[in-house]
Structures are given as C-alpha cells and as structure tokens.
Amino acid sequence: MHKEQLIAKLQDKTALVAIIGMGYVGLPLMLRFGEVGFRVLGVDVDGAKVDMLNSGTSYIEHIPSNRIAAARRAGFEATAEFGRLRDADAIIICVPTPLNAYREPDLSFVIGTTEALVPHLRPGQAVSLESTTYPGTTDEELKPRIESRGLKVGEEVFLVFSPEREDPGNPEYVTKTIPKVCGGVTKNCLDVGLALYGEVIDNVVAVSSTRAAEMTKLLENIHRAVNIGLANEMKIIADSMGIDIHEVIRAAATKPFGFVPYFPGPGLGGHCIPIDPFYLTWKAREYGLNTRFIELAGEINSKMPGWVIGKVVEALNERGRPVKGSRVLVLGIAYKKNVDDMRESPAVELMELLAARGALVEYSDPHVNVFPKMRRHRFDLKSVPLTPETLERYDLVLLATNHDAFDYKMIGKHARLIVDTRGMYLDPAPNVVKA
C-alpha cells in the first residue's frame, strides 16, 4: 500500500522532495525537481548556504542567482533543520565522500546524515543515496540504520542508490539529459526509485541492485583515472624523447575507431576521479583482492604535480634563477577549465609545492576571485588581473588550468617564461616550456 501511494504522489508531483547537501550535485538536482513542478526542500548544515538560498542567491558560478530566485518563487525552501524531513516523501542524500589521511573511505558525512535523518523517518518515504561510495554501502550502512527505527525497507521505506553524474561547466549535458543509473535494495525499492527519477530525468537506467549501481559509478571514474594515468605516463616518456605528447594525442584522435583521446595534465582534480578509485581498492581488500592496475594509475597521477615542479625548477635554472625568491603566477586554480570548483585541484598542490621551495606565489583565475576557505589548504590571496604589465612582473607563469577566458596569445607575448601543463602552446617558442 505504501509503495502504490508513494508512486502515485511522485507521478502527480504532489510529493515533497527533500535534498540533503546543497552543493554541486544537490543544487542542480533541486532546480530540476522544481522545474517540473515538485515542492522541494533543501537541507544543508551550512547556515550561510541556507541563508543565501533563501535570499535567492547562488554560490556556484555556473548556476545563476536568477534560477535560485525563480525556485524560491515556486516554493523552494532551504533549511538546516533535519526535523523538517518528516514531511518529505522522498529524501535524496548528496553529501561528500572524501578519503581520510590514510587514503581510506571516509563515510562520516553519509553515516552522520543517515543517523540525523533516521529519527524523522516514517512509513511511505523513499531514501536515495547519490554520494559515490564502495559497493555495499547502501546495504551495509544505510539499511540497518533505517530498520533500527522499526521500519521495513522494501515495504515501508524504499531505499535506492542512484549515483550522481554532474559535469559542472559542461553546457552539452544538464541534469535532465544525463542518463541516470538506479538500483534498489528490493524490487519495490527500485520501482519507487524509477518513479522518483523518471519524472525529472529523460533516461533512467535500472540495474539489479544497489551494489551494481555503486560499482557502476566507480567503474565510470576508474575508467577515466586509468586512461588519464596512461596519458600522463606517455607524457613523461614523450618529453624524455623530445616529443610533444599533445601533438601525438591530437594526431591519434584522427583515427575514427578504436581510440578515445585522454589528455595529460598537472594531476587529477575534482571530487570524483582522484578519490573514487580508492573506494574500490579499499573494499576489494575485504575479498583478498589487490587492485594493482587501479593503484598504479593512482600512483602515476598523484606524482604529476611533483613532476611539473621539476620542470619549473629546470626552466628557472636554465635562466639562472633559483626557485626561492622567484615570482610565480599560477594561471587557473580550479580543478578543470571554465568552472569555479576547487575540490582536489592539482593547481593548489602546485602552489603549495612552490611556496615550500620559497617561491613567491600568486594566481590568476577569472572564475575564482578570492582563494576560498578550504579544509586542507590556506592561501590569503586574490586573483591577479591579467595584463601585459602584470605578466611582465613575474619570473614564471605556470599554466595549470586552461580556462577559455585566458588570452593565450597575449600571455605568450608578454610572459617572460611559461610552463604549460595543458598543451595550449603547440608551436615552439623560446619562452614556453611544456610540462
């Protein structure tokens, strides 16, 4: 009875959808549910975010404030009160899943959120976890906590895992058009999950279990991590041979079959690719398995910032300058181009490595005006405006993130020395060192 009533409320959009975690995943999802007519409640422990959302203001660059304001007019509300979840018909969890200091899964946000919502659960609700995690998390961590309240999963509460697939800054794919994988703890759970997401996503892909859905997300990101690791290793080999790997990759990409181009860089960034593979390597140990291929890619990728710094040191030495005391301008500190997302950005590690060697480090990023407060990184800096005059003040310009907004021709003309980690300068130039 609970299942049929809940599905009916989802299909006629009278259901209240609560989304926990108003970040890069939860905020676009909130907007999408609101667009199709659902009442949406946004829950976040950050009071500053709650206040901004309720005032109709966005804190994510690629999501304009006018969309938040429109959602507010349509009935969206943000809150820090978990007690409000008792009114929700569907609860979607979009919280971080980082690694701890030992590169092991840190599920504290997921578990803390689950324990905070469990006292407010009631029969007839759906709970969906979207946070990337190892296979078994939904079954082993969420299900027992929900059932500790006396609610039977699959009969009274419907539990699913549906991994997020956001790509911030990519205008070709939005929440509506990105196919969404969904797995349920039971068949009833899956039916409710398909009804929930089927109202807002064009193509919902059902899989047989939450474990299959959890593994799907890991495979997607491990696929990228491994191929980027290969590209990074090829870059080091090609550099040793005096070959431009970016030229090689672009040439190889002209093959119309059997090759997918992946480009090297200064390291891996974002919340997914540098972190997610280690969720699987950790879980695989429970089964006595060693994930050598995945760990090798992680080792290569994690060493790239150090390799880039080696190229910086070499470039300065050849011009008679030590790193200590040199003025270095880092171009782009977001983890990828055209976004303001700083999570796990390799550019920040480059800044720290340079500062540790005595360099005077500044940055320029049109998407990050002020260096944000971060859990592990501290820089009291503001973005430097790029002009011919400012560029000429620096001993070296380190191109870390290739934003489209940069005027690469002007930079190439006025910078004394450029270390290019993104292959933006294909033609040889006396002031460009490729890294």
Q: What is the pLDDT of residues 207-262, one digit of tens each?
A: 999 999 999 999 999 999 999 999 999 999 999 999 999 999 999 999 999 999 99
User: In the predicted model, is pLDDT for residue 403 greater than 80?
Assistant: yes
Look at the chain and count its residues. Answer: 435
User: In the predicted model, is pLDDT for residue 375 greater than 90?
Assistant: no
- Give yes or no on whether 2-208 and 245-434 have one common fold: yes
Confidence of residue 273 (pLDDT cuts 50, 70, 90): confident
Work out the number of other CB atoms within 10 angstroms of the CB of residue 211.
19
Which is more confidently placed, 404 or 102? Answer: 404
What's residue 410's pLDDT?
Answer: 97
- Residue in the block written with tokens 């290019």: 420
Give the Cα separation of 364 and 349 in Å (integer).
Answer: 15
Phi, psi (deg, nearest 5) at residue 269: -135, 180
Amino acid type, 144:
P
Confidence of residue 170 (pLDDT cuts 50, 70, 90): confident
Give the Cα separation of 367 and 403 in Å (integer).
Answer: 9
The two structure tokens encoding residue 117:
């919502």
**CA distances (Å), 320 to each of 88, 103, 330, in order?**
65, 39, 20
Whether residue 103 contacts residue 131, with contact meaning beta carbons closer than 8 Å, is answered with no
User: In the predicted model, is pLDDT for residue 137 greater than 90?
Assistant: yes
The two structure tokens encoding residue 3:
């299942």
Sheet hosting strand 39-43, strand order edge to edge? 77-79, 39-43, 16-20, 90-93, 125-129, 157-161, 180-184, 204-206
The two structure tokens encoding residue 124:
């007839």
CATH class of 245-434: alpha beta
Whether residue 230 contacts residue 262, with contact meaning beta carbons closer than 8 Å, is answered with yes
Domain at 2-208: CATH code: 3.40.50.720
The structural domains of the chain, with segments of one domain joined by +, span 2-208, 245-434
What's residue 102's pLDDT?
Answer: 78
Three-state secondary structure along the chain? Answer: CHHHHHHHHHHCCCCEEEEECCCCCHHHHHHHHHHCCCEEEEECCCHHHHHHHHCCCCCCCCCCHHHHHHHHHCCCEEECCHHHHHHCCEEEECCCCCECCCCCECCHHHHHHHHHHHHHCCCCEEEEECCCCCCCHHHHHHHHHHHCCCCCECCCEEEEECCCCCCCCCCCCCCCCCCEEEEECCHHHHHHHHHHHHCCCCCEEECCCHHHHHHHHHHHHHHHHHHHHHHHHHHHHHHHCCCCHHHHHHHHCCCCCCCCCCCCCCCCCCCCCCCHHHHHHHHHHCCCCCCHHHHHHHHHHHCHHHHHHHHHHHHHHHCCCCCCCCEEEEECCCCCCCCCCCCCCHHHHHHHHHHHCCCEEEEECCCCCECCCCCCCCCCCECCCCCHHHHCCCCEEEECCCCCCCCHHHHHHHCCCEEECCCCCCCCCCCEEEC
- Which residues are annotated as catalytic? 272
Whether residue 58 contacts residue 94, with contact meaning beta carbons closer than 8 Å, is answered with no
What share of the chain in percent tops pLDDT 90?
Answer: 88
What's residue 378's pLDDT?
Answer: 78
Whether residue 50 contacts residue 44, with contact meaning beta carbons closer than 8 Å, is answered with yes
Tens digit of each residue's pLDDT (9 = 90 or more) over 319-365? 999 999 999 999 999 999 999 998 889 999 999 999 999 999 999 99
The two structure tokens encoding residue 304:
């790239």
Tens digit of each residue's pLDDT (9 = 90 or more) over 19-76? 999 999 999 999 999 999 999 999 999 999 999 999 999 999 989 999 999 999 999 9
